[in-house]
């Protein structure tokens, strides 16, 4: 009898949790879990900065100083992405004798080649990684991406889309910077090349970027995921040398492997952090548990106040839809195609600390 009562209690809790989660009749199956391959007891979380600038373009610090800054913050991977310039490898004195060389292996860091495509007719900036390709001046972004992704190892993402797409503006379908304009690129290029878009840039001055993310995910998930990224876009000039605003944590078996790091970008095996306090981390994810029998996703993390789950958008502004609060999300009767989580310690401007998961994808039975 005790065993039966215990089983009934588990089923009752599951049904109540499902009822509390926006859903519909039928059975929903999790078919996309970007963290499925993570070994939570063995994998290291490699802290990465993937959008930074130096005096080689329009930054205020020399390349070796930027490396030293991020090394002091215990970053394990760094991409210097100067505008339309390659600041790589870290033998910086070959570019400018006034600059000092740095040895990434000796520092325990991964040096990632790349740059920010900046000088183009379509204005939109784009970050390319694992490439030394440089675009021609005033080259349209369509031409840039076609040439970039012809490079065998190249991956990339849209930089600060909130600078171009405005939530309060009205666009004709397919108009430049409209959601359909972005969607067309994500439909043209696979996630193994066009990995996603920035959802955090610097001090989170463009929070509506996450609304655009959700609009695109609503249209494309689960077949075409878009991974979110958090970056400093470090320049060091207008913000008094501030860094460690936005970053990513990558789950890696071998933190010295550039190829494995590249795989985490393509597979979404990382999460995004934002903090308003330079010396603090955002909440750290300890594990993500998927129970396929009871159909839930559970997040365990450090030092957080609450976990909010988002899926889809709400009219009239098409802003991100909050569908559940709690560390466990029951998806068995959920009608959405995806869900993502925000792990929140604080949302206050001066103390904000939030981590963001990548989206999980669902399929409804019979669809």
Instruction: Write down all domains in the chain, each with its CATH number in brackets.
Output: 2-364 (3.20.20.140)
What does the H/E/C string look like for the chain?
Answer: CHHHHHHHHHHHHHHHHHHHCCECCCCEEEEECCCCCCCCCCCEEEEEEEEECCCCCCCCCCHHHHHHHHHHCCCCEEEECCECCCCCCCCHHHCCCCCCCCCHHHHCCEEECEEEECCCCCCCCEEEECCCCCCCCCCCHHHHHHHHCCCCCCEEEECCHHHCCCCCCCCCCCCCCCHHHHHHHHHHCCCCCEEEEEEEECCCCCCCHHHHHHHHHHHHCCCCCCEEEEECCECCCCCCCCCCCEEEEEEECCCCCHHHHHHHHHHCCEEEEEECCCCCCCCCEEEEEEECCCCEEEEEECCCCEEEEEEEEECCCCEEEEEEECCEEECCCECCCEEEEEEEEECCCCCCEEEECCCEEEEECCC
Cα separation, 225 vs 186, in Å, equals: 9
Sign, Cα dihedral of 266, 271, 276, 282? negative
> Is-contact 76 108, C-beta < 8 A?
yes
Tokens matching residue 289: 């548990």
Rounded to an integer, what distance in angstroms lies between the CA atom of residue 40 and that of residue 20?
Answer: 29
Q: What is the C-alpha separation between 22 and 31, in angstroms, rounded? A: 19
**pLDDT tens for each residue of the chain, 367 residues long:** 434 444 444 444 444 444 444 444 579 999 999 999 999 999 999 999 999 999 999 999 999 999 999 999 999 999 999 999 999 999 999 999 999 999 999 999 999 999 999 977 658 999 999 999 999 988 999 999 999 999 999 999 999 999 999 999 999 989 999 999 999 999 999 999 999 999 999 888 788 999 999 999 999 999 999 999 999 999 985 445 578 899 999 999 999 999 999 999 999 999 999 999 888 899 999 999 999 999 999 999 999 999 999 999 998 889 999 999 999 999 999 999 999 999 999 999 899 999 999 999 999 987 5
d(CA 65, CA 243): 13
């Amino acid at each position: 009898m005790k065993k039966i009562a215990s089983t009934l209690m588990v089923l009752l809790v599951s049904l109540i949790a499902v009822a509390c989660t926006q859903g519909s009749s039928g059975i929903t199956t999790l078919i996309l879990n970007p963290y499925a391959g993570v070994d939570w007891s063995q994998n290291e979380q490699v802290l990465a900065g993937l959008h930074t600038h130096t005096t080689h373009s329009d930054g205020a610090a020399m390349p070796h100083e930027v490396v030293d800054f991020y090394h002091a913050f215990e970053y394990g991977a760094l991409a210097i992405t100067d505008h339309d310039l390659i600041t790589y490898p870290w033998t910086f004195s070959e570019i400018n004798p006034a600059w000092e060389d740095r040895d990434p292996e000796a520092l325990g860091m991964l040096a990632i080649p790349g740059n920010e495509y900046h000088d183009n007719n379509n204005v939109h900036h784009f970050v390319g990684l694992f490439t030394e390709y440089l675009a021609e001046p005033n080259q349209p972004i369509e031409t840039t991406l076609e040439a970039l992704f012809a490079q065998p190892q190249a991956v990339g993402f849209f930089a600060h889309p909130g600078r171009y797409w405005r939530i309060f503006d009205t666009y004709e379908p397919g108009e430049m910077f409209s959601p359909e304009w972005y969607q067309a690129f994500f439909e043209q290029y696979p996630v193994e090349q066009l990995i996603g878009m920035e959802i955090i840039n610097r001090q989170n001055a463009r929070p509506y970027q996450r609304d655009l993310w959700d609009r695109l995910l609503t249209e494309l998930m689960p077949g075409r995921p878009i991974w979110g990224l958090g970056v400093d876009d470090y320049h060091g000039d207008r913000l008094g040398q501030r860094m460690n605003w936005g970053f990513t944590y990558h789950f890696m078996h071998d933190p010295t492997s550039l190829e494995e790091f590249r795989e985490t970008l393509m597979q979404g095996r990382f999460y995004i952090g934002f903090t308003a306090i330079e010396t603090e981390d955002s909440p750290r994810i300890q594990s993500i548990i998927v129970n396929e029998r009871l159909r839930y996703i559970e997040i365990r993390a450090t030092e957080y106040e609450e976990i909010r789950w988002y899926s889809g958008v709400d009219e009239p502004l098409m802003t991100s839809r909050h569908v559940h609060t709690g560390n466990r999300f029951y998806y068995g009767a959920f009608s959405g195609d995806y869900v993502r989580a925000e792990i929140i310690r604080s949302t206050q401007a001066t103390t904000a600390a939030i981590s963001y998961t990548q989206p999980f994808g669902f399929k409804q039975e019979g669809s």
